[in-house]
Structure 1
């Protein structure tokens, strides 16, 4: 079944998993570190909440921490795909995963 054959609510290639874990993002163009909260994660990307906006197309290496004391849950090279604001005055950023890092 192709993506166009799926019902509208099922058009994603990957299911999103809500995680609510701390996130650090190191911007590729500078050494700036952005802190935030990873709201959900899928096979193709993640959605994060931050206090700072990023431009679409910005690349960053992200590290999502585990709430259970494990070493980082995820390290990945990402690209900003979209940015919206939330009611609290923060930003919700959609990040596309370009590469999983060791």
Structure 2
């Protein structure tokens, strides 16, 4: 069973009232990401993760529609390591140096 299957199985096992296909798991895990056509490595904190998406905070704005490569660092036994391509669906500036990014997982590496 690969990482995506493990996440999907875990998110389906929890009962919930949301109308989402997968519930969100609170992650609070470090992540690294790269932007298209750039070699620089950026950092962020994953807030939550589901079988199909990710929400994280970072200090840079990422344009909606961007495809980014994300590497999530493991968080004990709860969050497995994950490398994925993510499409940015929303970017919200919470403060001068803090952006909340929501994305859809497109592929798992």
TM-score (structure 2 length as normaliser): 0.75
Unaligned runs of 5+ in 1: 1-8
More helix by share: 2
User: Which of the pair has more CA radius of gyration?
Assistant: 1
**In the alignment, is the contact (CA less than 8 A) between 1:29 and 1:59 conserved in 2?**
no
Q: Are residues 1:83 and 2:83 paired?
A: no
**In the alignment, is the contact (CA less than 8 A) between 2:31 and 2:43 conserved in 1?**
yes
Aligned residue pairs total: 91
TM-score (structure 1 length as normaliser): 0.80
Give the aligned partner of residue 100 of structure 2.
92
Give secondary structure in 2 for the equivalent of 1:10. coil
Unaligned runs of 5+ in 2: 1-16
